[in-house]
Amino acid sequence: MSVISAPQDFLLDDLYLDLRSVLGRSLYLKCEGFNFAGSVKLKAAAAMVADAERRGVLTPDSVIVESSSGNLGVALSMIAANKGYRFLCVTDTRCNLATRRLMEAVGAEVHIVTEPDPEEGFLGARLDYVRKVCASDERYLWLNQYANPYSWIAHHRTTAPSIAEHFPELDVLFVGAGTTGTLMGCARYFKESGRPVTVVAVDSVGSVNFGGPPGPRMIPGLGSGVRSQLLDPSFVDDVVHVPEVESVRALHRLAAGGFLLGGSTGTVVAGALSWLAANRPDGTATAVGISPDLGERYLDSVYQSNWVRDIYGAHALDLDPVGSA
C-alpha cells in the first residue's frame, strides 16, 4: 500500500507494455502516464522545483512561470498548488483544451500565445513572452526546462536506472526529443554505464532539434522550433524524424489493440518501428521506447477523425498493415 501527502510523491516507474501482439514486432514501452500529473514531466517538474527551493530562489512570494506545450504545465500546476506557490503557464493554441482545464482546475493561470514567431514558431513566441513577464516583475521565477540541468538529471536518476534494471539485455532505447530532458538523462546514463545500448532519438518532422528545417507541427509534445540548450548530440547514436501523420496512424493502431496513449507516444512508436525495420529486421533486438503520457487528453485531436482528416488529409487514417511504419 502506498500512502502519500503530495502528488509528486507517487511515481509508477516499473510499468512496461509489451506491444508484440498489437504491432507484430517486439517493442516494450515504458509507460509514464500513471502518476497524478499523468505524464513523465512530473519527474522534471519535481526536480526543478526542489532545486530552486534548495538554492533559495523560490520563496513564498515567488510566481513560478514556465513555457509548456501542456504536460510540464500540468505537473507544475499540481506541485505549485500542493506547495502554495502561484504558477503561470505560457502555452499556445496547440495545447489541448483538457490540458488547459486541468491546469486551471488546480489554480494555475494559463496564458495562450496565439501568434507564432516568424522564425522560431510558437515556442519562440512563448519564450519571448516569458522573458517579458520576468523582466516586468522580479517575483516571477522561470525554471526554464529548456536549459535547467535538473530537467535531465531527474531522468538520469530515475527513468534510465529503471530501464537498466528491468532490461539487462537492452539493445536499443527509443526516446522522444522535445526539450530533450528525458533523452539526455537516459542517453548520458547509458553512455556512462558502458553498456552497449544504442540510444535513438525520435523527433518530429518540422523540428529543428537536430538541424532539420522548421515546419508546422500540430501535436504538442515532441519536436521544437528552438533547439534545446540541453541537447548534446554526442550522447545520441541515431535520430529518426517522423511525419506527424505517421504518429497518428501509430496511435490508432495502438488504440485498436486497446492501448490509448498520448501524441508523443505515437511518434516514438512510429519512429521505433521504422528504425527497427531498417536496422534490426530479424526482430531479435530487445527494444524499449518511452511513452510520456496517456491518450485521454488527445480525444479531441489525434483520436477525432474529423480533426485528423482536416489536418492531414482524407487518407490519413488509411492504416498501414500491423507492424509496418
Please compute the mean of the pLDDT values over residues 62-87 and round it to a whole number: 97
Q: Which three cell numbers stand for residue 66?
A: 514556465
Please compute the mean of the pLDDT values over residues 75-100 and round it to a whole number: 96
Q: Which three cell numbers stand for residue 76?
A: 507544475
Domain ranges of the chain: 7-35+149-308, 41-142
| Full-model pTM | 0.94
Distance CA 182, CA 185 (A): 5
- For domain 7-35+149-308, is the CATH number 3.40.50.1100? yes
**pLDDT bucket at 318, cuts 50 / 70 / 90:** confident
Same fold, 7-35+149-308 and 41-142: yes
Look at the chain and count its residues: 325
**pLDDT bucket at 325, cuts 50 / 70 / 90:** very low
Please compute the mean of the pLDDT values over residues 13-39 and round it to a whole number: 95
Beta bridge partners of 16: 30
Q: How many CB atoms lie within 10 A of CB 106?
A: 16
Q: How far is CA 141 from CA 105, 135, 180, 203, 295, in A?
A: 22, 10, 21, 29, 31
Exposure letters 224-259 (e unless 16+ CB within 10 A, then b): bbbebebbeeebbbebbbbebbbbbbbbbbbbeeeb
pLDDT for residue 162 is more than 70:
yes
Q: Max CA-CA distance within the chain?
A: 58
pLDDT for residue 321 is more than 60:
no
Q: What integer pLDDT is reported at residue 320 of this predicted model?
A: 57
The one catalytic residue among 68, 224, 228, 264: 264
pLDDT for 164-197, tens place per residue? 999 999 999 999 999 999 999 999 999 999 999 9
Please compute the mean of the pLDDT values over residues 73-92 and round it to a whole number: 97
pLDDT for 305-314, tens place per residue? 999 999 999 8
Q: In this predicted structure, which of 141-150, 187-196, 215-224, 240-249 has the lowest mean pLDDT?
A: 215-224
Query: Which residues are within 8 A (CB) of 58 and not within 5 positions of it... i.e. 6 or more apart?
Result: 49, 52, 64, 85, 141
pLDDT for residue 323 is more than 70:
no
Does 39 qualify as catalytic in the annotation? no
pLDDT > 70 in the chain, percent: 98
Class of CATH domain 41-142: alpha beta
Cβ(221)–Cβ(192) below 8 Å: no
The one catalytic residue among 41, 69, 274, 291: 41
Cβ(238)–Cβ(200) below 8 Å: yes
pLDDT for residue 207 is more than 60:
yes
Q: Checking DSSP bridges between strand 238-242 and strand 198-204, what pairing results, if any?
A: parallel
Does 207 qualify as catalytic in the annotation? no
